[in-house]
Amino acid sequence: MRPTELMRGSPAAPQAQVTRANWRTFPAIRWGFTHAREILPTAEIRRAEQATPLPAAPRELASLGFVAPDGAQTSVAATLHETFADALLVVHRGTLVHEWYGDGMSATTPHLICSVSKSIAGTLGGILVERGLIDPDALVVSYLPELKGSAYDDGCAVRHLLDMTVGIAFEEDYEDPAGDVARYRYASGWDLPPPGLEVTDQRSMLAKMRASGKPHGKAFHYVSPNTDALGWLYERACGTSYSAILSEYLWQPMGAAENASMTLDALGAARSAGGISATARDLARFGEMIRCRGNVGGRQVVPGWWIDDIHANGDSQAWADGDLAEIFPGGRYRSKWYTIDPARGDLAAIGIHGQWIYVDVQTDTVIVKLATQPKAMDIPLDHRWLAAYRAIAAHVSAS
């Protein structure tokens, strides 16, 4: 079913209805990811009074061919069509050279970005460190004593939250209907729990998280609630809501043209790990700011040294010992950003169901791709798109 066929009518036909019970399942996801504010409670992330310019000089990229990881010859257009894509934007040296939207999308349509939200949280951390509001080496429980006795105790530092190296007993399995992620979604308000199941709120869930017995700081272990704990820590340090912090310190200063939003649980806790909805153009502005070492139009929004640290100081051994090493062999992770190829220095913000911001400093290129892939994790599609990004970057920088 096409996105434009969902939620049509008063009321919509049963097969075209999108509700909290089905909004992340295909095909309902194709409407749900662009209408999160109509499904879940949210807080507004305020735009700038004056948007940062995003000049355009369109170039034809749809027909660009490249070789997929399986050896097959394909093209950008075919990949868009075959991977449930919703938007593709390419920015080269600050100029928007390609902009494509699928059904139901436009330049002003907000789209849920899932774990790309984590990279935004990691970037925000650099601003708060620079202002002396948080210390990455401080203990988590020094900010959040409510987490004493949890997995976030016993030497867990803010840096361990930033780098996903917490020794925590949590399995990020999106397909297990009774697993840790399912219970996490109930606590965050994203999914309706089955009848009779007692559901807690997000912060109470964090306080009950248990240690794995492994030391903090040694191995990369991807756990979404770590970023929710980080967002809560930001709130405690700043004395205001996560959405207000993000508005004041990042979204407005970088010159966002549109308001974004953040999903909330029943008690108003932000799902900073995956709950942001934003337009593709504002994500392009964000990515371009990262490419430019945190600078926007001559203003330093994010400390340049924080971006340098992301490039230079991901722990390659922690990555090799972690649970995603086979996906990007030789990669690194720092402050919620992936370095896919350290020799190349490319950075990526990645979310399930096909969300990407790809920053390639070698070619001065930023690519935003949004999607509603049926599977939460689809590694072959991610690798196909990575090949596409590199082909696009090489093409726009050479011509």
Q: How far is CA 194 from CA 204, 224, 237, in A?
A: 19, 22, 36
Cβ-contact 125, 157 below 8 angstroms: no
Rounded to whole angstroms, how far apart are CA atoms 82 and 367? 18
Q: Return the structure tokens found at 142.
A: 């020094």
Q: How far is CA 9 from CA 4, 16, 360, in A?
A: 11, 9, 44
> d(Cα 191, Cα 43) in Å, to the nearest integer?
18
Q: Which residues contact 44 (CB under 8 A, 6 or more apart)?
A: 243, 247, 259, 260, 261
SS3 for 236-291 is HHHCCCHHHHHHHHHHCCCCCCCCEEEEECCCCCECCCCCEEECHHHHHHHHHHHH
Phi, psi of 152 (to 5 degrees): -90, 15
Rounded CA separation 326/324 (Å): 6
Q: H/E element holding 184?
A: helix 180-188
Among residues 115, 119, 150, 243, which one is catalytic?
115
CA separation for the pair 222, 166 (Å, rounded) = 9
C-alpha–C-alpha distance, residues 166 and 81, integer Å: 39
Is 241 an active-site residue? Answer: no
Residue-wise burial string across 298-314, b where 16 or more C-beta atoms lie within 10 A, e elsewhere:
eeebbbeebbebbbeeb
* Residue of 384, 340, 374 lying closest to 360 (CA atoms): 340
Whether the ω angle into residue 136 lies within 30 degrees of 0, i.e. cis, is no
State phi, psi for 275 to the nearest 5 degrees. Answer: -100, 10
Catalytic annotation, residues: 115
